[in-house]
A and B are shown apart, each in its own frame.
Chain A
């Protein structure tokens, strides 16, 4: 019975059926399934499948968006039942945020979905995140990686300031910085002193695994 429910959750996430995914997760919680299992065998399995289909060029962006939305909603329902750090297989922590002045949410959602499916623990600072909040998170959460997103040519300039501030506060050596977003590039990442550049959500995961 557990297995069938995990499969139903996984399928709902892969197919971007947000309401269905949420319903099944609630069912699974009620029936006493361990939250970590629900996450790994249901939700993460579902988003991983979506990632594979995307890589195989069978899924296109809208399909991935819907899957990421379903993933986000399902995780939101599960989160209160998860203990801190539980479910992250790799034990590596990533703090993600979109820089100040920028309100584009989509890319970040996709990256978080893919990172979680690869076993990272992800803390989402949200969008339009002030520089100080990144610094505080670096100090308090002690992440292995900080991921910065910007989706406009004007806001990506902020990334340089954030990295400089991390340096100034003596935090830079303790973590790796990855940047991403439509206007960014490898050249830009090198210019601002980032450790890696994610071309898209799939690439971001590959790079994060290597950091």
Chain B
């Protein structure tokens, strides 16, 4: 017997036959419900409200992870609840990824926006019984006469476009060229050329509609990476592809579907269509790159983690499933190593690495953190598995940077805690920058020692159910739980910080650099824009440098993608940067565990 599941507030419906967990139903329906454990009933994040008697009884996991109040008010865990009849499910904002603060603005970037793409208007002599030249020949000859294009040619998709355009436009058409190749034709006159730049993040996509010819951003929009349904992090997605090769295809398709959807929306804001996109540039970490291209990913998942290529790739956009002009290409800049992708190259390009001899550090903090150190003509990069603590994951009350998240914490001399919440309302949780502030302030206030151990008996410290101490940040109001930071949360932060700092320290030792030698530290990514540099130094995440040398550079990967879209010069620069960068595998560096141990401690004094 069929039944219907309705998700609120999106209104998305799913018709089912068999009993199914709400979690799986959401995945099938395209409704995003957050999970850090992949639906195993251990993280407690997939909280939904269901009022119905045709659902499975409350499970042990739910008794453990939800409060009595929550259970009384019909809140359940999506992964532990099975439905088998018509039901309506409410997904609160804290259980989705809706409305996270996406990082789209970036450095002002100077470049010469010269590409091979241009558009021209063409008046073509009509075909007649006395002039039976083929469509392509007459267009090519017209292009030579009117625009000095020598031996223009077209591949099959553009050829169809030419044929239709000539007659619809009554022999007046606009032509898009990539060098001598005709990649689109349409009735009327030439339109300003536009293209699409995409930063394919593991969690968030950033898409930009760019005017080719000027490099100007016409519109920008972010979206969640739908591959999250297959795994929150890169390794889980690779594991999914290894378990079932069909998953790799599905991940590729769902990603491209989302990119196309965002591209459509971006174009619509400028009264354009995706058909008008003449060029695409996509950057991402190596796993994203390989999945997008359909390259075998197994060797990325196992030591020694080598990528298929370290050269740029230019393919027909249609091959990837992207909706664009008929002959448009997609340009994929090169990855550097298994865990350092073209997004890192894009960051370095946008930050101007390789342009001078300054001693500089660039860090892109995420679940994997890529770090580059430039000393003179040498640039050495590494990747560290920092984990998602700085993105608010695996923290008891952690959430992404969205309304309701504590983003700033200060502890006054009298011990009172001041929290700054995104959106200004009551605190529903805490995001990465808030977590960093909390640890720093707690150490300064003596609530934790240099090992990060919470001192029991201090005001604001209480014992949780498992006997471990926690510190109260914001008392719950309006039926929300208290927002606390637990001993385990602090451990997660120190582990994340330790991994990142170990990477930085190893690069510094390798290139014989001291903190005072570093002239600039660039931090890319949303977290970088929100973190407090003073606190970042105080907890030892960053080496001790004057604070005015620390600069957030926003979505530098996106900026780099835009640069490479709009400028051939930038593509060449990026390709040579990729060759110049030396990759260092930190986990096999001599004394790695000692760097890690040192990095995990909180500095004293």
Q: Assess A103 versus B588: contact at CB under 8 Å? Given A57-B487, A62-B600.
A: yes
B242 to A157, Cβ gap below 8 A?
yes
A153 to B239, Cβ gap below 8 A?
yes
In the bound complex, residues from chain A placing their C-beta under 8 Å from that of B452 are 60
Q: Tell me, in angstroms, the Cα distance from A61 to B302 when the chains sit together.
A: 26
Interface residues of B (CB under 8 A from A): 40, 42, 231, 233, 235-236, 238-239, 242-243, 301-303, 451-453, 468, 487, 491, 494-495, 498, 587-588, 593-594, 596-601
B600 to A60, Cβ gap below 8 A?
yes
In the bound complex, residues from chain A placing their C-beta under 8 Å from that of B487 are 57
Interface residues of A (CB under 8 A from B): 16, 57-63, 65-66, 69, 100-106, 109, 128, 152-155, 157, 183, 185, 187
Count A-B contacts at CB 8 Å: 78
Which one of B301, B302, B598 lies within 8 Å of A62 (CB-CB)?
B598
Residue of B with least CB distance to A187: B40
B495 to A61, Cβ gap below 8 A?
yes
**Main secondary structure on chain A at its contact with chain B?**
loop
A65 to B587, Cβ gap below 8 A?
no
Q: Tell me, in angstroms, the Cα distance from A153 to B243 when the chains sit together.
A: 11
A103 to B587, Cβ gap below 8 A?
yes
In the bound complex, residues from chain A placing their C-beta under 8 Å from that of B40 are 185, 187
Known A62-B597, A62-B599; further 10 A-B contacts with Cβ < 8 A: A63-B451, A69-B593, A69-B594, A69-B597, A101-B302, A103-B587, A153-B238, A153-B239, A154-B242, A183-B235
In the bound complex, residues from chain B placing their C-beta under 8 Å from that of A106 are 593, 596
Q: Assess A61 versus B600: contact at CB under 8 Å? Given A69-B593, A103-B303, A154-B302.
A: yes
Which one of A60, A104, A152, A154 lies within 8 Å of B453 (CB-CB)?
A60
Which one of B242, B494, B588, B596 lies within 8 Å of A60 (CB-CB)?
B494
Task: For residue B574, give the distance in angstroms from its CB to the closest CB of chain A.
Answer: 29
For A61, A105, A128, A185, the residue with the greatest tally of chain B CB atoms inside 10 Å of its CB is A61
In the bound complex, residues from chain B placing their C-beta under 8 Å from that of A105 are 587, 593
B600 to A102, Cβ gap below 8 A?
no
Q: Tell me, in angstroms, the Cα distance from A132 to B302 when the chains sit together.
A: 17
In the bound complex, residues from chain B placing their C-beta under 8 Å from that of A185 are 40, 42
A155 to B594, Cβ gap below 8 A?
no
A100 to B598, Cβ gap below 8 A?
no
Q: Tell me, in angstroms, the Cα distance from A149 to B594 when the chains sit together.
A: 21
In the bound complex, residues from chain A placing their C-beta under 8 Å from that of B600 are 60-62
Question: Which 9 residue pairs are nearest across A and B when measured between Cβ atoms?
Answer: A101-B302, A154-B301, A62-B597, A62-B600, A153-B239, A65-B597, A153-B235, A154-B239, A60-B451
